[in-house]
Amino acid sequence: MSEGSFSAWLREQCASEWDAVVAHPFAAAITTGDVPDAAMRRYLEQDFQFVDSFTALLGAAVAAADTFEARVPYGRFLGQVATTEEKTYFHRALEALGGSTEAATEPVTAEFARLMDDVRRSLDYPLIAAVLCVAEWCYLGWASRLSGPPPENWVHREWIELHEGEEFRAWVAFLRGELDRLGPALDAARRAEVLAVFRRAVELERRFFDMAGAGH
C-alpha cells in the first residue's frame, strides 16, 4: 500500500474486475428500465438468498467491530434496511414478477453465501468490513451511473433508490472509513488477507451479474 486510503488501494488492486461490475450490461439495463421481467425475477430470486447471508454478516459486524461507534451504524443498517426496506421490496417485487422466495440456488449465489458465511464465522472484523464494503460500494457504483430520469417501472426504480441517495452514500462512506481506519494498523500479511477477500467478493459480484444477464 502506498499513498491514499486503504479502501482506495483495495479497489485499485481489482480495478478491471471492479469496472466490469459497475459498468455491467445487466446493471446498466436496470438503470434504463430495460431488464425483461423474467430476467429481473431470476436476479431478485437469487438476490433474496444473497440478502440472507448478507444480513447475518451485518450481525457479525455488530459483534466483531472493535468500537462502540462502529457497532451503531451496523446495527442501524441491519434494523432499517435489511429487515424493512429491502425485505418488503423483495416480497413486493417477487410477487409482482411471479417469482419465489425459495427458488433453486444458482452456483454463484451459493459461492457468495459461502464466502459471507466463512467470513462471518471467523468474526475477523477487517475481513467482515471488506466483504460488506464491496457489496455496498460497487452497488452504489452502478446505481449512481443513472444518467437520465429514473425508470418508470417501480421494480427497477426502487432497486436503484435502495442503492443510491444521501443515506446510502453515507453508509458506503462509513464502510470505506472503517477499512481506512483499520488498514494502517495491519501488517503486509494481514493486508494481503483482506485484499484476497475483497478481490473474491468483487469477482463474485461480477459473476452474479453474469448469471443474472445470461439469457437476457
Ligand X SMILES: Cc1ncc(CN)c(N)n1
Residues placed in the known binding site for substrate:
47, 86, 136
Contact call for residue 198 and ligand X (CB under 6 A): no
Which residue's CB is nearer to ligand X, number 191 or number 211? 211
- Hey, which residues between 53 and 112 contact ligand X (CB under 6 A)? none
Task: List C-alpha distances in Å: 63 to 67, 146, 163, 206.
Answer: 10, 35, 25, 29
Q: What angle do helix axes 125-143 and 107-122 make, rounded to 10 degrees?
A: 140
- Hey, which residues between 162 and 181 contact ligand X (CB under 6 A)? none
Residues 6+ apart with CB under 8 A from 134: 198, 201, 202, 205
Residue 95 corresponds to which amino acid?
A: E
**Is 205 among the catalytic positions?**
yes
Which residue's CB is nearer to ligand X, number 18 or number 191? 18
* Contact predicate 19/142, CB 8 Å: no
The DSSP symbol for 151 reads P
Which residue's CB is nearer to ligand X, number 1 or number 111? 111
Contact call for residue 47 and ligand X (CB under 6 A): yes
- DSSP codes joined into one string, 21-61: HHT-HHHHHHHTT-S-HHHHHHHHHHHHHHHHHHHHHHHHH
Minimum CB–partner distance for residue 210 and ligand X (Å): 12
Minimum CB–partner distance for residue 184 and ligand X (Å): 27
The terminus-to-terminus CA distance of the chain in angstroms comes to 40
- Hey, which residues between 120 and 139 contact ligand X (CB under 6 A)? 135-136, 139
Contact call for residue 18 and ligand X (CB under 6 A): no
Which residue's CB is nearer to ligand X, number 18 or number 208? 208
Q: What angle do helix axes 86-97 and 37-64 make, rounded to 10 degrees?
A: 160
Residue of 24, 208, 211, 213 that binds ligand X (CB under 6 A): 208
Which parts of this chain interact with ligand X (CB under 6 A)? 47, 50, 135-136, 139, 205, 208
Q: Which residues form the catalytic set?
A: 205
